[in-house]
Amino acid sequence: MKIGANLGVEQHFVEADPRVDPNGFGQRRMCKSGVLQIMQWTTHGGATLELVQGDITQQPGDAIVNAANSRLAGGGGVDGAIHRRGGASIMDETRRRYPDGCPTGSAVITEAGNLPAKYVIHAVGPVWNGGDRNEGDLLRSAYQDCLKLATDHHCESIVFPSLSTGAYRYPIKQASQIALSTCLDYLQQQNVPHRIVFALFDEPTLQVFSDTLKALTEQ
Ligand code: ADP
């Protein structure tokens, strides 16, 4: 069955597509589950990459990724939501372990306080400045650092927001291409973390990510 239906309006379940993708990934399927719109991609090794709509602090996972700033000072958006729901222990640990902050394009890890996770990975994506300030490489390396930290800490699952596309103004289409291709490349090499989830706040962002995932996986 063709995968190209519009995730934003379709409310059906599509059976797994038995076609095998030449890039090494296996079945694909998408479904609507409760209030969450979901698109899921499964590798031959059984690892999955999923797109869901919702607040990242409500998504269970071994590691939850924070869209942090380089001072690790706390802020709005994802950062505000994570510290609000996770409690003060996360900021206490961050200040203690990483007093110099975290350079753009990298990530650090703490425990997760009251969040439904073991760890928070604080990733610093680039501020968008028109695209000629190395933003693409910095965004890719922020995602790669998160995946490496999750692997090193034996995380079975990791939940990402869309880094840099809020206050940092990175154009969503380009950001989604980097986010998803980086994760697909990593899964292709490592097959861990076994479950990668993108928790996307609003439907337009979910739609852009699902279009990009389709394009990347149908190549
Ligand atoms: P950045 O500073 O890296 O741009 P933001 O937190 O401002 O990070 O936004 C990143 C993306 O996360 C934006 O698309 C924003 O809409 C989205 N977002 C904001 N709050 C949440 C949340 N609680 N859960 C998931 N996504 C969120």
SS (H, E, C) the chain: CCCCCCCCCCCCCEEEECCCCCCCEEEEEEEEECCEEEEEEEECCCCEEEEEECCHHHCCCCEEEEECCCCCCCCCHHHHHHHHHHCHHHHHHHHHHCCCCCCCCCEEEEECCCCCCCEEEEECCCCCCCCCCCHHHHHHHHHHHHHHHHHHCCCCEEEECCCCCCCCCCCHHHHHHHHHHHHHHHHHHHCCCCEEEEEECCHHHHHHHHHHHHHHHHC
Give the whole-number percent of the chain exceeding pLDDT 70: 83
79 catalytic per annotation: yes
**Residue 23 Cα, ligand 1 centroid: separation in angstroms?**
30
Predicted local confidence at residue 161, as pLDDT = 98
Mutate which of 36, 201, 203, 205 to test ligand 1's pocket (most atoms within 8 Å of Cβ)? Answer: 201
User: Which atom of ligand 1 approaches the CA of 168 most closely?
Assistant: 4
Of 3.40.220.10, 3.30.360.10, 3.90.1300.10, 3.40.50.2000, the CATH number of 12-218 is 3.40.220.10
Catalytic member of 17, 55, 62, 79: 79
pLDDT in tens, 123-172: 999 999 999 999 999 999 999 999 999 999 999 999 999 999 999 999 99
pLDDT in tens, 160-179: 999 999 999 999 999 999 99
pLDDT for 7 beyond 60: no
